[in-house]
Chain A
Amino acid sequence: MMRLSRRAVLAGMATLSASQARAADAYRIEPIAVADGIWMVRGANEPIAPGNGGAIANIAIIATPAGTVLCDCGPSIRYARSLRAAAERLTGTPVVRVYVTHLHPDHGLGIAAFEPAMVAALPGTTAALAREGAGYSDAMYRILEDWMRGTELVLPGRQVTTEMEDFGGRRLRLLALSGHSGADLAIVDEATGVLIGGDLVFHDRAPSTPTADLDRWRASLDRLKAEPHRCVLPGHGPLDPGGVEAIVQTRDWIDWLEQALTDAVKAGLDMVEAGRIAIPDRFSTMAVARYELQRSVSHLYPALEARLLPRIDRPRQE
């Protein structure tokens, strides 16, 4: 006989009512033209929350002679289906390729809406998704509830191992980088010079660091700066038409962050206090700066303490 605890029943009821309330919610996909044959779908400058359905990451749609290419595909199958329909209406051609820039669920969980054979990611991204995707999926279901319905973790079926992919003459340069995560794909459309930065580049939205390696991130930003391009379509925040500012701003934030947290450890602050330090005025244009600072304290502080606080233990008396 099946026994349900009272908590399970209550939880079930809560979920049911939430689902009924949200069943009608739909994502609004509004592509903005950024260059010839490239559109951006802007994510909300917010944390992942029920109010935005997790649609916080920017998506790129590229029309090519060989079909439509998507760079990232959003947090859920519902989002990705809407995206696919909107993109195909826009370009008049079917989606033939979906690149997943990195493992984070706001960018890639939507791949459940596509045939795995057309979904491509760096080998390191696919390996990380295989390892940690289920945990990310659980977390997204917990926060977003019905928005996630039907979204299952699907792994990309293709590995990005070349430096270029040609879609009937429209060539995309594929840059295998890292630092925001263990494997970050950035893409340059050669025809227009649009650099699609993934989450290596944030713009007027504070960078997030849950899987960051700041030294590698800096090296990747240097590489992106040197890579010929005209404008930057960042992972979060508005387009950077000049192509420099967003890269410089991302670098400025992670440099400040690391130094500020180092100073906080040296000043004897605990994590709660470190999350309350002043954020310099030059970052006042950045959305969710306090929120991301406090997340970064959680990600980075213990390792800084382990490096900066001296050992004080004495030999044991046997």
Chain B
Amino acid sequence: MKRHVALLLALAAAVPVRAGPVVDPLGSPMWTAHARTLFGDDPVRFDPRVKVDFPIIAENQRAFPVVIDARTIPGVRRMILFADLNPIPVAIDYRPVAAAAYVATRIKLDQRTPVRGAVQIDSGEWLVWGGWVDAAGGGCSTPPVSRVKGDWADHLGEIRGEAWPLPGGDSRLRLSFRHPMDTGLVENIAAYHLEEIDVRGADGRPLAEMAIWASVAEDPALTLMPRIGAGERIGIEARDTNGRDYRAQVEVARQSPLPAPPAP
């Protein structure tokens, strides 16, 4: 009997863990369904090295900042940011083609929900971590500020950004787009959002690519770390669900910015 148990345990350890049976440390009612949709038959494991960082309070449920930092994990090829209980769960599906495994943005929260980062490594395995966030409802179902003000069309297509070199050959790229990012869940406003953003070197080589959804906050802001050095030009191309194209260009500064005060 004892030997059988040991054999079973050995077998269990050898067989890659499937999405279904993995026990969710967050106890989310939607974990199994999302895991099946997002990861299919790929192996999945919870791993705190996928750092999912956010503030201690969801002060604004229309724009909740989240960082996924998986730079300590080798071979990251895809990073997904999702909130289990949002009506549009996935916010960003990021492929850091030639970039560090780091992405920061702001998302909408429609209620208290797990917020997670899932990264896929070269073996095909998914590593997942995250935490519960308590939030007032309605982040996805209230109209964007620019719709209420009525000036969204005046600013559509404005892109701001800056890039600085980091030690080790990467750069820190900050981008913000003016876009209403309509969810389609607000009365009489159809879904309308950025759906694709590509970041390239001056020679056209791909650095970073992402699909994004309307659960990203209005006027999407992004921080990425493409592998490109001081003085080089970065091209940004984006497209929204109406087929409108967006183009921007930024040169990586010659110097790093003055350091911000150190974290405590």
Contacts and interface: CB of A to CB of B under 8 A. Distances in A.
Interface in B77-124: 104, 106
Nearest to A294: B55
B189 to A, nearest CB: 20
A297 B60 CA distance: 10
A138 B142 CA distance: 15
A264 B260 contact: yes
A271 interface: yes
Contacts of A294: 55-57, 59
Contact of B67 (A210, A272, A290, A298): A272
B177 to A, nearest CB: 9
A266 B55 contact: no
Nearest to B166: A268
A316 B247 contact: yes
Contacts of B262: 277-278
A316 B157 contact: yes
Interface stretch (A30-38, A81-89, A105-113, A303-311): A303-311
A151 to B, nearest CB: 17
A305 B247 CA distance: 19
A311 B159 CA distance: 6
B25 interface: no
Given A270-B221, A272-B54, A312 B250 contact: yes
A302 interface: yes
Nearest to A276: B263
Contact of B158 (A142, A266, A299, A311): A311
A260 interface: yes
Contacts of A275: 55, 65
B248 interface: yes
A313 B161 CA distance: 9
Given A290-B56, A309-B176, A316-B245, A268 B257 contact: yes
Given A272-B55, A294-B55, A297-B55, A277 B159 contact: no
Given A142-B136, A302-B63, A270 B104 contact: yes
Interface of B, helix, strand, loop or mixed by DSSP:
strand
B223 interface: yes
A21 interface: no
Contacts of A270: 65, 67, 104, 174, 221, 223
B160 A309 contact: yes
A269 B53 CA distance: 14
Interface in B236-264: 236, 245-250, 257-264
Interface residues of A, number: 41
Contacts of A299: 59-60
A184 B110 CA distance: 32
A259 to B, nearest CB: 11
Given A316-B247, A317-B245, A310 B260 contact: no
Contact of B65 (A271, A290, A291, A311): A271
Interface string A210-226: 10000000000000000
Contact of A272 (B59, B65, B172): B65
Interface in A110-124: none
Interface in B183-225: 219, 221, 223
B17 interface: no
Contacts of A297: 55, 65
Nearest to B174: A268
A314 B250 CA distance: 10
Given A263-B260, A313-B247, A273 B161 contact: no
B66 A272 contact: yes
Contacts of A267: 257-260
Contacts of A210: 59
A264 B66 CA distance: 16
Nearest to A274: B260
B67 A273 contact: yes
A295 B59 contact: yes
A23 interface: no
B162 interface: yes
Contacts of B160: 305-306, 309-312
A279 interface: yes
Interface in A163-219: 210
A309 B260 contact: no
A115 to B, nearest CB: 31
Nearest to B172: A268
Interface string B145-178: 0000000000001111110100000001010100
B263 A278 contact: yes
B50 to A, nearest CB: 15
11 contacts: A267-B258, A271-B55, A271-B106, A273-B104, A277-B263, A279-B264, A309-B176, A311-B158, A311-B160, A312-B160, A314-B248
Given A297-B55, A298-B55, A316-B157, 14 more contacts: A47-B57, A267-B258, A272-B53, A275-B65, A277-B262, A278-B262, A299-B60, A305-B176, A309-B160, A312-B159, A312-B160, A312-B250, A313-B246, A317-B247
Interface of A: 47, 138-139, 142, 210, 260, 263-264, 266-279, 290-291, 294-295, 297-299, 302, 305-306, 309-317
